[in-house]
Amino acid sequence: MNATTVLIVLISMVGVTASAQPLNGAADELTVHFIDVGQGDCIYITTPYISDASNPQKRGIRILIDGGDGRRGDTFALRYLSRLGLRPADTIDYVIATHPDGDHIGGLLAIYDRYHVTNTLYAGFVNTTATYDSFIKLARDDSRLWYGLKSGEETLGEYLPLGDEVEARILNAESKPIGKKSNNSSIVLRLAYRSISFLLMGDAQGPVEEKLIAKFGSALRSTVIKLGHHGSSTDGTSGAEFLGLVRPQFAVISAGCMYGHPNVATGNRLWNQRVNVVRTDCEDGTVETPGDDNIVMTTNGTQLEIRQFSIRD
Ligand SMILES: [Zn+2]
Rounded Cα gap, residues 46 and 168, in angstroms:
12
Label the pairing between strands 91-97 and 276-279: unpaired
How far does the centroid of ligand 1 lie from the alpha carbon of residue 216, in Å? 24
C-alpha pair distances (Å), 216 with each of 31, 179, 231, 237: 25, 21, 22, 17
How far does the centroid of ligand 1 lie from the alpha carbon of residue 114, in Å? 23
Q: Which of 198, 146, 139, 142 is nearest to 167 (CA)?
A: 198
- What does the DSSP 8-state code read for residue 89? T
How far does the centroid of ligand 1 lie from the alpha carbon of residue 45, in Å? 19
Rounded Cα gap, residues 235 and 215, in angstroms:
19
Per-residue model confidence as pLDDT tens digits over 188-207: 999 999 999 999 999 999 99
Please tell me the predicted confidence (pLDDT) of residue 283.
60
What integer is the mean pLDDT of 62-66?
A: 97
How far does the centroid of ligand 1 lie from the alpha carbon of residue 229, in Å? 6
What domains, with CATH codes, occur in the chain? Answer: 29-309 (3.60.15.10)
Strand 43-46: give its sheet, edge to edge: 6-7, 303-309, 294-299, 30-34, 43-46, 62-65, 91-97, 116-122, 144-147
What integer is the mean pLDDT of 275-292?
A: 78
27-41, 96-110, 171-185, 280-294, range with the lowest pLDDT: 280-294
How far does the centroid of ligand 1 lie from the alpha carbon of residue 41, in Å? 7
Please tell me the predicted confidence (pLDDT) of residue 5.
47
What integer is the mean pLDDT of 295-311?
A: 91
How far does the centroid of ligand 1 lie from the alpha carbon of residue 103, in Å? 5
Report pTM: 0.91
How far does the centroid of ligand 1 lie from the alpha carbon of residue 58, in Å? 34
What integer is the mean pLDDT of 213-235?
A: 95
Per-residue model confidence as pLDDT tens digits over 8-34: 454 443 333 334 445 678 899 999 999
